[in-house]
């Protein structure tokens, strides 16, 4: 067996998965479909990366094929889900900060959640299915990283894999800029506008806007990087026929690290960090805010009450719904 090349990958992915669960309770209570989808997709991606890094840490063995069939499609879906979720957030922020009249009623909230669910989950599923059009063979296995989707690099692949995420992220950036403009123009009365239309606080609004903006800048940069990396190491192939593109479809290509050029190995290592860094960007904006601090306090009081048998009232903290209400529903 080869030595373990990157022993840090699995622990980092698992840690990122755990940290993503920290802001889950208050986003769940807010029923914010877009932010919940970001947590879910990034959690799935990190778990996938961790399992792959453990199974294929020192080999390219053809095992867990069904796992690879599923996770390679999920990896495709994640490339669309994150920009789509940020677009939903930016559209909502632009709407609530604008001068357009009318509060958000229950029916409007339901329509917004339905719209966000379609974009955050339906759209990725559509592109996961469309990936089959440019899937030249079953999948690839890389030593140290595990299974990854295969792409028949051609003009159709550009319009299925790379251009749509770039377009979605660009539209999200436009809405983010509009939301920032509303914020700067109406900053003196901004808190009352938010409260009347959405119940958002100014602090939460700013965090959502900054998180979406940074995620989109990161997403656009990475998409351009992966496209340029692919164009450097692969020739844009001519689309011939369906039968030709999908011939020998059951083939699984294996890439031991010792046979990979140094530039390719370095590129895959850089690409692996996209998901953990995207997770940390999300965590940075929501794990250290006021909501998070309050949640930590509630969790601490629950631990004291459950394990130390100390009443929360002794610490001057009345019971509020928090993290423990998810674990102990009534």
Is residue 82 a part of any domain in this protein?
A: yes
Looking up tokens 């990366």 gives 49
Q: What is the domain-level CATH number for residue 280? A: 1.20.1070.10
Q: Does one domain contain both 206 and 311?
A: no
Is residue 65 a part of any domain in this protein?
A: yes
pLDDT tens string 63-107? 999 999 999 999 999 999 999 999 999 998 888 877 665 555 556
Residues 236/281, Cβ–Cβ less than 8 Å:
no
Helix (H) or strand (E) holding 255: strand 252-255
Collapsed DSSP state (helix, strand, coil) of residue 173: helix
Q: Does one domain contain both 231 and 314?
A: no
Q: Does one domain contain both 282 and 295?
A: no
Is residue 315 a part of any domain in this protein?
A: yes
Is residue 1 a part of any domain in this protein?
A: no
Is residue 22 a part of any domain in this protein?
A: yes
Q: Does one domain contain both 83 and 223?
A: yes
DSSP one-letter string for 300-326: HHHHHHHHS---GGGGT----S-HHHH
Q: Does one domain contain both 198 and 294?
A: no
Residues 265/155, Cβ–Cβ less than 8 Å:
no
Q: Does one domain contain both 85 and 220?
A: yes
Q: What is the dihedral of CA 91, 228, 273, 176, to 10 degrees?
A: -20
How confident is the model at residue 322, as a pLDDT?
47
pLDDT tens string 242-269? 999 999 999 999 999 888 888 888 989 9
Is residue 4 a part of any domain in this protein?
A: no
**Tally of structural domains, the chain:** 2
Q: Does one domain contain both 188 and 69?
A: yes
Q: Does one domain contain both 127 and 266?
A: yes
Sign of CA dihedral 99, 102, 108, 109: positive
Is residue 278 a part of any domain in this protein?
A: yes
Is residue 2 a part of any domain in this protein?
A: no
Helix (H) or strand (E) holding 52: helix 33-55
Q: Does one domain contain both 214 and 325?
A: no
Q: Does one domain contain both 169 and 307?
A: no
Q: Can you give the residue range of the structural domain that contains 34? A: 9-288
Q: Does one domain contain both 160 and 263?
A: yes
Q: Does one domain contain both 317 and 252?
A: no
Residues 140/252, Cβ–Cβ less than 8 Å:
yes
- Over the chain (330 residues), the average pLDDT of each successive run of 10 is 75 95 82 92 97 94 95 96 94 80 61 93 96 96 95 94 94 91 74 62 82 91 91 89 93 92 89 94 81 71 71 50 44
């Amino acid at each position: 067996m080869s030595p373990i090349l990157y022993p840090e990958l699995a622990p980092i992915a698992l840690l990122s998965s755990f940290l993503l669960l920290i802001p889950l309770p208050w986003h769940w209570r807010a029923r914010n479909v877009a932010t919940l989808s970001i947590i879910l997709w990034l959690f799935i991606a990190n778990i996938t990366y961790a399992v792959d890094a453990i199974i294929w840490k020192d080999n390219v063995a053809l095992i867990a094929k069904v796992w690879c069939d599923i996770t390679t499609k999920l990896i495709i879906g994640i490339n669309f889900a994150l920009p789509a979720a940020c677009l939903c957030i930016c559209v909502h922020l632009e709407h609530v900060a604008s001068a357009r009249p009318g509060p958000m009623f229950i029916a409007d909230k339901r329509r917004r959640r339905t719209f966000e669910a379609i974009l955050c989950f339906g759209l990725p599923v559509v592109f996961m299915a469309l990936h089959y059009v440019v899937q030249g063979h079953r999948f690839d296995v890389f030593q140290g990283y595990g299974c990854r989707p295969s792409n028949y690099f051609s003009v159709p692949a550009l319009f299925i894999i790379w251009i749509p995420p770039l377009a979605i992220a660009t539209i999200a950036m436009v809405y983010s800029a509009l939301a920032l403009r509303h914020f700067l123009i109406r900053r003196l009365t901004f808190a009352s506008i938010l409260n009347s239309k959405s119940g958002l606080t100014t602090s939460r609004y700013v965090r959502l806007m900054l998180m979406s903006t940074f995620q989109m800048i990161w997403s656009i940069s990475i998409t351009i990087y992966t496209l340029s990396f692919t164009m450097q190491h692969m020739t844009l192939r001519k689309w011939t026929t369906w039968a030709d593109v999908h011939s020998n479809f059951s083939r699984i290509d294996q890439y031991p690290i010792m046979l990979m050029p140094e530039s390719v190995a370095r590129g895959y290592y850089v690409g692996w960090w996209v998901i953990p860094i995207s997770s940390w960007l999300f965590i940075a904006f929501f794990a250290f805010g006021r909501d998070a601090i309050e949640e930590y306090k509630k969790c601490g009081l629950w631990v004291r009450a459950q394990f130390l048998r100390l009443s929360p009232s002794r610490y001057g903290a009345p019971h509020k719904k928090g993290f423990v209400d998810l674990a102990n529903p009534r």
